[in-house]
Structure 1
């Protein structure tokens, strides 16, 4: 015997709302990510290594950066960095590196994330500006890129 039309409609609504058309719903509340901290030593996919000091009460920090790659003909040396971060569990941040071995500066912006497995990563985008020998060559003086840093344990 066929179900009355109203009962069929109610079962369909119940199925969509509570059963999700056969999809499994998570049983617990989503886990909030842990707090990501910038201070410490980080390495990126190119082998560049940076160390970030403890943050002051306004979120400012300093540190050092040893790049794993360079277009300069000069020997690579460790360079200073300085920056600031916003507050929050997965903060945004920015810092600049004034390269000690070339006539260039790099500005980084990014965000510190904690993965579901508890690993901290820094996702960054950077602009590198090298000195142009003339105004006519200004067009090729800025590069842009992305790097992911992992905490060195």
Structure 2
């Protein structure tokens, strides 16, 4: 676990050093996001305390229930200073009796596109 954490930290540091031209652009969470599996989420405005809300519609599930759009609530760190902010949010699934927590960071890629890198726990 320590090795994986060290490798991830080294990777993130390397990415930051490789793209100095993009570091001035601020990465914004607000808007619609679609992941590689087709799930989508919409994040509303981030207030001055870093709080936000929105909706999440998953494209994958282990239940036979109809998938429903579900609310999400979260916070972003120090919104006035960070160009690549970290954040966390929870989704309370409306079609099952479970909650998922996500944590991640917003990056600007080499093409100037905003990208979210996240981890989750169901």
Q: Smaller-chain TM-score range? A: 0.7 to 0.9
Aligned residues: 99
Aligned partners of 2:40 and 2:57 also within 8 Å = yes
1:2-151 map, 5 Å: 30-33=20-23, 34-87=25-78, 88-128=82-122
Q: Distance in 2 between matches of 1:116 and 1:69?
A: 29
Q: CA deviation at 1:117?
A: 1.4
Distance in structure 2 (CA, Å) of the matches to 1:123 and 1:115: 11
Q: Give the structure 2 partner of residue 7 of structure 1.
A: none
In the alignment, which residue of structure 1 is the partner of 2:15? Answer: none
Task: Name the TM-score, length of structure 2 as normaliser.
Answer: 0.79
Q: Distance in 2 between matches of 1:99 and 1:92?
A: 23
Rg larger in 1 or in 2?
1
List, as ranges, runs of 4+ consecutive aligned residues in structure 1 with deviation greater than 6 Å: none
* Unaligned ranges ≥5, structure 2: 1-19
**Secondary structure of the corresponding residue to residue 31 of structure 1:** helix
Residue of structure 2 in register with 1:6 after alignment:
none
Aligned CA RMSD, in angstroms, stands at 0.8
Distance in 1 of aligned mates of 2:35 and 2:111: 19
CA apart distance, 1:72: 1.1
